[in-house]
Structure 1
Amino acid sequence: MKIRLLLLAMVVLTGAAGAAMPGSALAKPQVTAARIGETPERTRFVLELSEDLPYRVFTLPDPFRVVLDLPEVDWSLPGDRQPRARGLISDLRFGLFAPGTSRVVLDVKRPVHLQKVFVIPPRDGKPHRLVIDVEEVSRERYFAAQSQETGEASVSDRPLKPLAEAVPPLPPVKPADARPTVVIDPGHGGVDPGAVGVSGSHEKNLTLDYGKALKAALEATGRYRVVMTRERDVFLKLRERIRLAQEAEGELFISLHANVHSSGKIRGASIYTLSETASDKEAAALAAAENAADVLAGVDLTDQTGDVRNILIDLAQRETMNLSKKFANDLVREVGREAKLLRNTHRFAGFAVLKSPVVPSILFEIGYMSNRQEERLLRSKAHRDKIVASIIRAIDDYFEKQKAASRS
């Protein structure tokens, strides 16, 4: 029986398309170089830009990070020109945070404040240079600065458009379309690359490839309406993915991921459904890592406690969890015909992305990118086509059983 969905209001994405940059109607502004330097007094981060851009810089605590937002830019520096961690900066990530907004996240070893943020105009053959100087402060001083009315942040004279914290609105549903709606969620994206394979491949790209292939194959059957949470390399907060599924009136949510393990020998697919008590230590660790994706992308999660509590209360709707388990069992059977499975293939963990109270949801780990042989297999079109076909068989079987149950 189809579950009646709780419709959640969505905020319309403001300025998502992004304005054309001066002097170029088509090309994105470019990051031409990036570097990190240090002195006894400060650590300096410098971006060289093809043009003068508006920006927003701020810090976040626990873990401590410096976040830089820019209009959507092309960051295509070769590996040998990527900046290396130095001084207070322990790591760096970059990518599309929301349509029209690129984000750089600097992980820092200790609390810092923004000592200076400024732009050096072109001179001596150098392009525009955006400079961020940070210095170490005590936790007490950090939180004292944050508690001020405006907090600690730096914006340009031409501030960015308001950040779109919501996802783009979905296309309207045709009233006469009675087909089941399947929501496909390619994991990670944008500033959050996910796992990194032995060849240097990124999980976010692999899951998007599988998601697009699954969408095309499902639509080709004519039996399903298909919605993707993302169709390009963009970051989505975990609960935005849930909201998308609910707004779409999804009847099945499939989150696609790939795994890594410290042992390069481990390989095999696995399927997860929700449990607040993980089925084993590995499942718990994996869920913690996935749930940390919002932190990695520079998202402030301090206001989420109430939302999480409400979602967990709604999980009393046991029907949703039971339907998730039924589909997981179908998927294990069908994927097992095409690919190697982990032992105890159907697992349970507290993934935030599975916590919709009304949409049956599973998380599919298609294999291990840390296993050289399996990573090569996962990247092949032939294997992807087999996995997609097995998912479709499981979806067909699941909805056929739902129809039979509704007639009985």
Structure 2
Amino acid sequence: MTAAETPGGLARVVPEYTGAEAAGGGVRLDLELTQGVPWRVFTLADPDRLVLDFREVDWTGVDPALFAAEGLGAVRFGAFRDGWTRFVADLDRPLAVEEAGLSVSALTGQASLRVFLAPVSEAEFDARAGAPEDPRFDLPEPAPVEPARESARDGPLRIVLDPGHGGIDPGAEAGGVNEAHLMLTFARELREVLVRAGFEVVLTREDDVFVSLERRVARAHRARADLFISLHADSLAAGVAHGATVYTLSESASDAASAALAERHNRADLLAGLDLGGTDDVVADVLMDLARLDTQPRAEALARAMVDGIASATGHVNSRPLRSAGFSVLKAADIPSVLLEAGFLSTPEDLERLTDPDWRARLARGVRDGVRAWAAADAAEAALRRR
């Protein structure tokens, strides 16, 4: 980590002096900033990626095409954590950081960051790859599995809404609309509807920032949520789909389209440059599977109630509105969790509906009605579950 002087305002990338080019058999990356900021650089494997973190840098006006160079693949950048932004570049071949440095002009105060990537063997790349130890970037400790709150005893039902994507991960995009912004807007609207109905509501993100899948679930645990609803509006590269769909967790997807959708959602952490190595825990997985024996039927009942509520309020749901797949964000063992695909941005009719505030208000009322019906039925069954 190289720290610079304390910045006096938000640093911006200067596009005119920013880009990448082949050099010395490798790649040279240049970024010009309006001032110096704390930063760090590292590589990750599986897939091979270059990651640059900055203390809040504004990338407005920067075209990813500036970084087109032999050896670099897709490039993305944006907000990553509160106060931090991230740049991620896929690597088409093994390239390791050979030199990296930031210099600040004593005359203008502008900062020039140069990174040189040199070719290495795949074995050497793997040996050198990995995020540096830094508590500001580490994922949260796994939360203990605790029994869900008894809502009737402890107060109003507590709902965690999870607007998908955000920051460096904009999600699906169509017609000048991106999924991250749209779902944050809908989450705020839905929160108001649910609060007026007497529920407590917590959002996993309040701004356009990246939140890892594990942190989303951890925030639901910290909030002691009674239920968790993840909000999305995806896009299909091929085929046509329309209408709302509610997903529950399963190891085997209910259909090929659901499997592909879950794979795209679960890749969000990889695309944002998170190091997921060494996260498997077989014993923990077994314990969570046991906990889900109680939670999963409740999640499936919630999905059915939400589909009924949405269909009644909007008159429009998918032809197969109840589906299942291995969405990582639904893996809280002790919280009934569902994922709502509000529609598909790749379908013009759905795009028109989702960008219409009046239609979103109807959708929000449908979700509210579904949650309210589920809560009543779940409370009636709670005494049976405790016996």
Q: Percent same amino acid at aligned positions?
A: 32
Equivalent residue letter for 1:43: V
2:364 pairs with 380, 388, 392, which one?
388
Q: Deviations over 1:336-369 (max 9, x none)?
A: 2305322221001010111111000000001111
Aligned positions of 1:267-278 closer than 5 A? 267-278=242-253
Q: How many residues align?
A: 369
| Alignment partners' CA distance in 2, 1:264 and 1:47 | 40
| Alpha-carbon distance change, 339 to 116 in structure 1, aligned in 2, over 3 angstroms | farther
For structure 2, the residue ranges without an aligned partner over 5 or more in a row are 142-148
For structure 1, the residue ranges without an aligned partner over 5 or more in a row are 1-18, 168-172
1:170 corresponds in structure 2 to none
Aligned residues of 1:68 and 1:104 also touching (Cα < 8 A): yes
Equivalent residue letter for 1:195: A
TM superposition score normalised by structure 1: 0.83
Aligned positions of 1:79-158 closer than 5 A? 83-122=66-105, 127-146=110-129
| Alpha-carbon distance change, 67 to 182 in structure 1, aligned in 2, over 3 angstroms | same
| Alignment partners' CA distance in 2, 1:144 and 1:389 | 52
| Alpha-carbon distance change, 312 to 212 in structure 1, aligned in 2, over 3 angstroms | farther
1:165 corresponds in structure 2 to 139
2:171 corresponds in structure 1 to 194
Aligned residues of 1:71 and 1:100 also touching (Cα < 8 A): yes
2:12 corresponds in structure 1 to 30
Which structure's relative contact order is higher, taking Cα pairs within 8 Å and 6+ residues apart?
1
Equivalent residue letter for 1:47: L
Deviation of 1:212 after TM superposition, in Å, equals 1.0
1:279 pairs with 254, 257, 271, which one?
254
Equivalent residue letter for 2:45: P
Deviation of 1:78 after TM superposition, in Å, equals 5.5
Give the 3-state SS of the residue equivalent to 1:270 in structure 2.
strand
Aligned positions of 1:129-278 closer than 5 A? 129-146=112-129, 162-163=136-137, 165-166=139-140, 178-197=155-174, 199-221=175-197, 223-263=198-238, 265-278=240-253
TM superposition score normalised by structure 2: 0.87
| Alignment partners' CA distance in 2, 1:291 and 1:323 | 23
Deviation of 1:163 after TM superposition, in Å, equals 2.7
| Alignment partners' CA distance in 1, 2:66 and 2:286 | 41
2:23 pairs with 28, 33, 39, which one?
39
| Alignment partners' CA distance in 2, 1:283 and 1:219 | 31
1:51 corresponds to 2:27: no
Deviation of 1:110 after TM superposition, in Å, equals 1.4
Q: Deviations over 1:9-34 (max 9, x none)?
A: xxxxxxxxxx9x8463xx42222223
1:311 corresponds to 2:285: yes
Give the 3-state SS of the residue equivalent to 1:244 in structure 2.
helix
> Alpha carbon RMSD of aligned pairs, Å?
2.8
Aligned residues of 1:114 and 1:132 also touching (Cα < 8 A): yes
2:56 corresponds in structure 1 to 72
Deviation of 1:119 after TM superposition, in Å, equals 2.1
| Alpha-carbon distance change, 135 to 270 in structure 1, aligned in 2, over 3 angstroms | same
